[in-house]
A and B are shown apart, each in its own frame.
Chain A
Amino acid sequence: MATDTAPVAGERGREAMAVADDAERRRVRRFDEPTGLRRAGRYLLLFVVAFIVLFPVYTTVIAALKPSDKVLQNPLLPDAFTLEVLGDAWTDGRLGRYLLNSLVVAVVVTVAQVVTSVLAAYAFALLEFPGKRVLFLAFVATLLVPLEATLVVNFDTVDSLGWVNTYQGLAVPFLATAFGVFLLRQVFLTLPRDLRDAAAIDGVGHLGFLRHVALPLVKPTLGALALFSFLGSWNQYLWPNLLISEDDKNTVQSGLRLLSKANLDRPNLVMAGTVIAAVPIFAALLVFQRQLVRGLTAGAVKG
């Protein structure tokens, strides 16, 4: 994560750091590797804790793969197998449709948040203009307002625009994020002043500099922000519940809620829906683990 704050340490500096890193790692390995009984004890603990953490996932998955007449017998054992219930959740539970809705909204929100954040962050970091401090303070202030405090009024606003039960209604209130502006501004501020001055002398304008120099340098942060925005939108629960009453426009989260409230007597169907809703994100996070860690820790770096 520290690489982000010093992206231009210079090739030689970076090499030196990498060498030092390797030496450090070798030393740490020797120091930190438990042996003998300690090692066995550590493994035992790790397995026990992993079992506890995965237990709800395990029972969910085996229930989703069982026929209805078997699901209440031996709920801890995978003693029957069918893909039929997953199929039911996909078609009758309309999970396919809900996934598509969530995907559309999340992609729009992600692209928009990245673009709006890049533009505003660049202006706050590299442009000088009157009123900059006040405007930036207003941006930071929005970070203090919890989503839940705004939704009562936002519902009225969206309603008066005629956007209840629409994609616009789900997406438009979230097209910008002060978190993204703040995060990218911090990174833009670490770009050396000389870089911009040299570009200006060569006649490169701000937008050209942003596109060809600044953006490539902050790519890792952009990835983290994109993943964060996507997850934030995908996981929205309260807003779709308030906004959506037409079945066609439900997101995965509000659709799962419907499925569960309507089928309390069919736990395997609800669990099948849960599995279908969870798998894409589990898969995505396996691929984008690094961006996730970067995004999560970005908030914590400076408190």
Chain B
Amino acid sequence: MSMDAERRRRSRKWADFPLAMAMIAPSAVVLGVFVLYPLGRAVWLGQQRCNNFGGNCKSQGFGQYVDLFRSTEFQNALLVTFKFALLTVPLGLVAGVALAVLADKYLRGIGAFRAIFSSTVATSVAVASLMWLFLLQPSVGVLANVDWFNGLFPSVKDPGWLQDPGTALTAVAMSSVWASLGFTFILVTAGLQSVPRDLYEAAAVDGAGGVRQFWSITVPMLGPTLLFVLIVLTTRAFQAYGEVDLLTDGGPQPQDSTTTITYFVYGQNSPIQSDAGLQAAGAVLLFVILLALSALQLGGIGRRVHYGD
């Protein structure tokens, strides 16, 4: 009797198992083969050196990760990437919030302005970067051929902002901030619309001005949205590849002023481009750094963010 019940219970437990496996299998196979396996394989490959064709690999021991991390080239890429993140993330966040707050009023035609502010979300990295390449290019670019502008800023023509090691990274960062403006604007706008208006009315009654309302109501209520945008923008900065590839090829050389980590791993001018082992090691280091950064942001700021009901 009790064994019968036990068997029935167990068969019920397994009843949906075949169906569940069949439904999960397509996703599981793709994610297993193209996300989890390559990550594991890259960790293994990262301690090897290979020939030009990625074959004939020889183990170097896991010390290779340390060697690569300490190498001048990787340290340079790491520094460039951190600088790039420091240029793009705060500016992108502030610009996105400013635009969203600016457009968060009921005015005739505000829909058109919102559409314009969102519009850069429709540009791919290639489209956005080429638009900026044409703006900044020193011989055939727009700004270099506007007389009053190149009179004001001669460096736009000679050597060119993308060609000067001192300004190249900032110029690439501007392109990147512009490209992600639409994304940040849309998210912050949605966040603003979910802030209960009574809070502002109550604050106004209590005599709080616009600035006070912004810091005491808007910012805390936007907390989760801002944290999400912060993490996404930081991740994007560390994954920056297309804008570097199209605008500067990682240069100007020989300083590699715009060689980000991702470009260091995959770029056509990269010194490790022909060694799958070192490339894998670089890719794994990128993963570890991103993971640590997200954890820091979630742990450090996330704990102070208030999630409403």
Contacts and interface: CB of A to CB of B under 8 A. Distances in A.
Interface in A233-273: 234-235, 237-238, 241-242, 252-253, 256-257, 260, 264-265, 267, 270-271, 273
Interface bracket on A: 35 or more
A3 B33 CA distance: 36
A142 B35 contact: yes
Contact of B146 (A76, A267, A281, A289): A76
Contact of A123 (B14, B20, B30, B186): B20
A234 B119 CA distance: 17
Interface string B170-208: 000000001001010011001100100100110000000
A1 interface: yes
B30 A173 contact: yes
Contacts of A142: 31, 35-36
Contacts of A176: 26-31
Contacts of A120: 23-24, 26-28
B225 to A, nearest CB: 5
B35 A150 contact: yes
A35 to B, nearest CB: 10
Contact of B34 (A150, A237, A297): A150
Nearest to A135: B24
Interface stretch (A10-18, A80-88, A125-133, A212-220): A125-133
B154 interface: no
Nearest to B288: A149
B290 interface: yes
Contacts of B194: 2
A90 interface: no
Contacts of A129: 13-14, 16-17, 20-21
Contacts, number: 291
Contacts of B242: 237-238, 253
A264 B140 contact: yes
A1 B191 CA distance: 11
Contacts of A150: 34-35, 38-39, 42, 283
Interface string B127-170: 11011111101001110011000000000000000000000000
Given A42-B105, A148-B265, A156 B54 contact: yes
B106 A28 contact: yes
Contacts of B305: 303
Contacts of B241: 148, 237-238
Contacts of A157: 33-34, 37-38
**Listed residue (A270, A274, A299) with the most chain B CB atoms within 10 angstroms of its CB:** A274
B266 interface: yes
A53 B228 CA distance: 23
A262 B282 CA distance: 30
A19 interface: no
Contact of A32 (B105, B119, B186, B245): B105
Contact of B106 (A33, A63, A172): A33
Contacts of A257: 126, 245-246
Given A152-B279, A157-B33, A299-B228, A146 B286 contact: yes
A46 B102 contact: yes
A33 B105 contact: yes
Contacts of B239: 146-148
A9 interface: no
A292 B283 contact: no
Contact of B126 (A63, A156, A256): A256
Given A33-B105, A206-B19, A278-B122, A56 B131 contact: yes
22 contacts: A32-B106, A57-B131, A59-B131, A60-B130, A122-B23, A139-B28, A146-B286, A148-B262, A148-B266, A150-B283, A152-B276, A172-B30, A172-B34, A173-B34, A177-B27, A237-B241, A241-B245, A257-B246, A264-B140, A267-B141, A278-B123, A281-B123
Given A123-B24, A176-B29, A267-B141, 13 more contacts: A28-B197, A50-B116, A53-B117, A56-B135, A59-B131, A59-B142, A129-B17, A132-B20, A150-B42, A241-B245, A242-B266, A281-B123, A296-B186
Interface of A: 1-2, 24, 27-29, 31-34, 39, 42-43, 45-46, 49-50, 53-54, 56-57, 59-60, 63, 71-73, 75-76, 115-117, 119-120, 122-124, 127-130, 132, 135, 138-139, 141-142, 144-154, 156-157, 172-178, 181, 206, 234-235, 237-238, 241-242, 252-253, 256-257, 260, 264-265, 267, 270-271, 273-274, 277-278, 281-282, 284-286, 289, 292-293, 296-297, 299-300, 302-303
List 9 A-B pairs, minimum CB-CB distance, nearest first.
A153-B38, A176-B30, A150-B38, A149-B287, A173-B34, A123-B23, A300-B228, A176-B27, A120-B27
